[in-house]
């Protein structure tokens, strides 16, 4: 155990720890930086102790007595969490001498972030490519990885269509590289830095390619995959022998050149059209799995559960495909070159996990019980909780995240992956006036989102005190009202997504009150007509159309169901209370607080807008079935109120937020289609659509 003497402002502390461990050095550095602000007068000895016999891998304790703080854990990762726990206390104004004993352990083993890189992106959009410069900066990655460690995320998954040539120059296929020597060196320097910093923070890293893709340079050199030089994602799979060899060798070389890279992920969908589930699985075995086997070290695997049981890229789920996949994972694990367990990943409620905590569907449809009956021995199921619903507005509902985790963490569950495919949390392209702001990067705006998911995945029984304390630390006395207001207002997002059935990414964009129109294939404002006819995602919700039909038929409702009037009442209750909680907060001298309050107000008015639309939809549908003019007048009144609430949203957000590039609006676009490639969003742009609801109701005839 090495010794290090660190001097603080009013004291000196002696740290005792393993100086040969990069992770313990990181933990001590973070703690010593925080201690510079401590005003204690006592001299302290701070010990970092590894005890694998008494502590689980990610569990730790903090004890404080006789001017000595001991942080004990089952691994270096646990010691980092223990040190950062003390850092959190210090930041919250607790002096070192007053640090209370504590003991914590991990609830779920896999706590990951899904991060789509801005290079060779899954979709082609300026909303993604605009992050290029930020994501090439190692200072950004240091900040992001620090945030992950503080929130106890322990895995970073990096995605793009064809990642290999950003990390290596293939030895046997140098013609595949699009870079000159200087460019290649710059890419490798960046990725080595990311892997090294992640390793120091005890964060596992995974590279996850989509399939099947090669570089345009490789395609042209070997006359293969010539029908997909632009890298569209739903295309025929080219299974040429040379592509198999190239992919396999890329995997092996990458794992050997990046010893700090934890492992690989695989997906069985994109770039694999016209292939059966068995053919897709066979291709993976011959390429990624075999490439992992040939590497001179062990690595870990994330095996995405296939979402198509057909030869189409957007097929449906089936029991047969589940059986095939389970057997394939078992065979892969038996080969002996992978660290266990394999993470078998599924999308919770497809691309919209921020809806209901009940599992309604996965990507492709229904989930059967094949993956967990009988309970697996070599893999754990993990949930991807995709967020394609709010990028601009801050969000945080602790009770929802806690319930989500506790309801869906059976013994066969290994953890969660949190993130988006249409949003990269790097450059802040939202904020108009960036002067005097405490944040620099986009993820820092959504600090509560990451803190909630990370800390509750580590310990879902953690109460809200740590989140409340963070609000107070950031905003003082005025911050005490914000946790409740944020939670009440944030429920708007969950209720919209629960009430409006959705699937893949563009089928819903909650904060914009937008959804995919199947007829036009465009993402547009959810009109009152669509709201009336769209079935809910949550099976406990009743649609407007069904509600009116049952009322007219004199039928009663199951007490467990949420009817449209009840939903509207819940929205009004919570959103009005949220507005009351923040109405007297003065943020004139604190821009960060101003944005927090503005977002709470925006969610609240969006909830009131949604409630008024529900009421308008009920009245409109009732008028159609009865012909009673009273209901037509009611519909107009409620939709006029919805417009007023929308105008309130515009008045709040227009001075604060830019017109925002949005992938949802450019799904048909690419650089060759600049109109879509650069499409933007702001609530003001939809006002005419909101007004159209009012005008339609005024002019409707039975």
For 119-148, what is each residue's pLDDT tens digit?
999 999 999 999 999 999 999 999 999 999
Encoding tokens for residue 527?
A: 């009109």
pLDDT for the residue 42: 74
Give yes or no for residue 6 having a pLDDT over 50. no
Contact 83, 31 (CB under 8 A): yes
Percent of the chain with pLDDT over 70: 96
The mean pLDDT of 177-197, rounded to a whole number, is 98
Q: How confident is the model at residue 518 (pLDDT cuts 50, 70, 90)?
A: confident
pLDDT for the residue 671: 52
Give the start-to-end residue ranges of the domains of the chain. Answer: 2-104, 110-462, 488-699
The mean pLDDT of 51-69, rounded to a whole number, is 96
Encoding tokens for residue 444?
A: 């820092």
Beta-bridged to residue 451, according to DSSP, are none
Domains 2-104 and 110-462 share a fold: no
Q: How confident is the model at residue 667 (pLDDT cuts 50, 70, 90)?
A: low
pLDDT for the residue 674: 60
Could you tell me whether strands 342-347 and 660-661 are parallel, antiparallel, or unpaired per DSSP bridges? unpaired
pLDDT for the residue 41: 56
Give yes or no for residue 519 having a pLDDT over 60. yes
Task: Give the integer Cα–Cα distance in Å for 512 and 519.
Answer: 20
Helix (H, G, I), strand (E, B) or coil at 577: helix
Q: Which residue has the tokens 């879509």?
A: 676
Give yes or no for residue 672 having a pLDDT over 80. no
Contact 129, 180 (CB under 8 A): no
The mean pLDDT of 253-275, rounded to a whole number, is 95
CA end-to-end span of the chain: 83
Alpha helices in 209-240 (DSSP H): 216-222
Helix (H, G, I), strand (E, B) or coil at 417: strand
Contact 59, 105 (CB under 8 A): yes
| CA count, 13 A, side-chain hemisphere, 299 | 29
> Exposed/middle/buried for 536, CB within 10 Å: 0-12, 13-18, 19+?
buried
Give yes or no for residue 311 having a pLDDT over 90. no
pLDDT for the residue 358: 98
Overall residue count recorded for the chain in this entry: 702
pLDDT for the residue 520: 87
Task: Give the integer Cα–Cα distance in Å for 552 and 629.
Answer: 16
CATH class name, domain 2-104? alpha beta
The reply to whether the predicted model has a pTM over 0.95 is yes
Helix (H, G, I), strand (E, B) or coil at 523: strand
Segment 577-614, tens digit of pLDDT: 999 999 999 988 899 999 999 999 999 999 999 999 99
The mean pLDDT of 236-252, rounded to a whole number, is 96
* Dihedral (CA of 23, 25, 31, 33) sign: negative
Beta-bridged to residue 516, according to DSSP, are 523
> At CA 278, angle to CA 272 and CA 283, rounded to 5?
55
pLDDT for the residue 7: 37
Percent of the chain with pLDDT over 90: 89
- For 491, the enclosing helix (H) or strand (E) is helix 482-499
Please name the fold of domain 110-462. TIM Barrel (3.20.20)
Give the mean pLDDT of the chain: 95
DSSP state of 259: T
The mean pLDDT of 180-186, rounded to a whole number, is 98
CB-based contacts of 98, cutoff 8 Å, min separation 6: none
The mean pLDDT of 63-74, rounded to a whole number, is 95
pLDDT for the residue 601: 98
């Amino acid at each position: 155990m090495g010794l290090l003497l660190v001097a603080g402002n009013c004291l000196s502390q002696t740290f005792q720890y393993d100086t040969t461990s990069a992770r313990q050095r990181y933990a001590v550095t973070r703690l010593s930086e925080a201690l510079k602000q401590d005003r204690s007068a006592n001299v302290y000895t701070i010990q970092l102790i590894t005890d694998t016999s008494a502590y689980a891998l990610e569990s730790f304790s903090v004890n404080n007595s006789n001017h000595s703080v001991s942080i004990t854990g089952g691994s270096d990762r646990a010691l980092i969490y223990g040190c950062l726990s003390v850092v959190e206390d210090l930041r919250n104004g607790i002096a070192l001498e007053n640090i209370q004993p504590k003991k914590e352990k991990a609830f779920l083993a896999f706590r990951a972030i899904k991060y789509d890189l801005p290079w060779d992106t899954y979709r082609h959009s300026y909303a993604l490519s605009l992050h290029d410069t930020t994501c090439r900066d190692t200072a950004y990655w240091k900040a992001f990885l620090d945030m992950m460690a503080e929130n106890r995320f322990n895995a970073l998954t990096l995605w793009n269509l064809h990642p290999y040539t950003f990390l290596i120059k293939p030895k046997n296929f140098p013609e595949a590289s699009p870079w000159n020597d200087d460019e290649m060196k710059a890419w490798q320097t960046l990725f080595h830095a990311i892997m090294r910093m992640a390793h120091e923070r005890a964060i596992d890293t995974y590279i996850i390619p989509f399939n099947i893709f090669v570089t345009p340079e490789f395609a042209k050199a070997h006359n293969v995959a010539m029908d997909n030089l632009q890298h569209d994602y739903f295309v025929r799979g080219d299974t040429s022998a040379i592509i198999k060899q190239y992919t396999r060798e890329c995997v092996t070389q990458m794992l050997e050149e990046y010893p700090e890279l934890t492992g690989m992920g695989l997906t069985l969908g994109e770039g694999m059209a016209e292939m059966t589930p068995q053919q897709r699985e066979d291709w993976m075995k011959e390429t990624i799995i075999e490439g992992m086997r040939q590497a001179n070290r062990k690595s870990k695997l994330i095996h995405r559960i296939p979402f198509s049981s057909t030869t189409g890229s957007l097929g449906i789920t089936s029991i047969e495909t589940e059986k095939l996949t389970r057997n394939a994972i078992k065979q892969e694990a038996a080969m002996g070159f992978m660290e266990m367990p394999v993470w078998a990943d599924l999308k919770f409620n497809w691309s919209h996990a921020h809806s209901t905590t009940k599992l309604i569907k996965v990507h492709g449809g229904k989930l059967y019980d094949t993956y967990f009956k009988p309970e697996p021995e070599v893999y754990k199921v993990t949930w991807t909780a995709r967020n394609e619903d709010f990028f601009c507005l801050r969000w945080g509902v602790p009770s929802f995240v806690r319930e989500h985790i506790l309801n869906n963490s059976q013994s066969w569950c290994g953890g969660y992956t949190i993130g988006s495919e249409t949003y990269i949390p790097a450059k802040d392209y939202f904020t108009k006036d960036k002067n005097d702001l405490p944040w620099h990067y986009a993820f820092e705006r959504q600090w509560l989102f990451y803190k909630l998911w990370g800390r509750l995945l580590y310990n879902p029984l953690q109460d809200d005190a740590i989140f409340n304390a963070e609000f107070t630390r950031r905003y003082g006395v005025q911050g005490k009202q914000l946790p409740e207001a944020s939670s009440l207002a944030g429920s708007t997002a969950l209720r919209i997504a629960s009430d409006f059935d959705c699937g893949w990414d563009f089928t819903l964009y909650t904060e914009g009150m937008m959804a995919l129109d199947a007829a036009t294939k465009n993402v547009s404002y959810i009109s009152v007509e669509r709201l009336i006819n769209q079935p809910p995602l949550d099976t406990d919700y009743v649609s407007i159309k069904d509600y009116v039909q049952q009322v007219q038929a004199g039928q009663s409702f199951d007490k467990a169901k949420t009817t449209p009037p009840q939903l509207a009442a819940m929205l009004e209750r919570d959103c009005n209370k949220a507005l009351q909680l923040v109405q007297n907060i003065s943020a004139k001298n604190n821009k960060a607080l101003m944005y927090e309050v503005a977002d709470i107000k925006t969610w609240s008015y969006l909830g009131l807008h949604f409630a008024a639309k529900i009421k308008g939809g009920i009245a409109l549908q009732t008028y159609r079935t009865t012909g009673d003019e009273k209901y037509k007048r009611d519909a107009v009144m409620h939709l006029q109120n919805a417009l007023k609430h929308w105008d309130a949203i515009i008045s709040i957000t227009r001075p604060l937020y830019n017109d925002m590039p949005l992938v949802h609006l450019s799904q048909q676009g690419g650089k060759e289609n600049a109109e879509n490639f650069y499409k933007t969003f702001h609530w003001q742009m939809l006002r005419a659509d909101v007004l159209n609801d009012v005008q339609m109701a005024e002019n409707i005839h039975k």
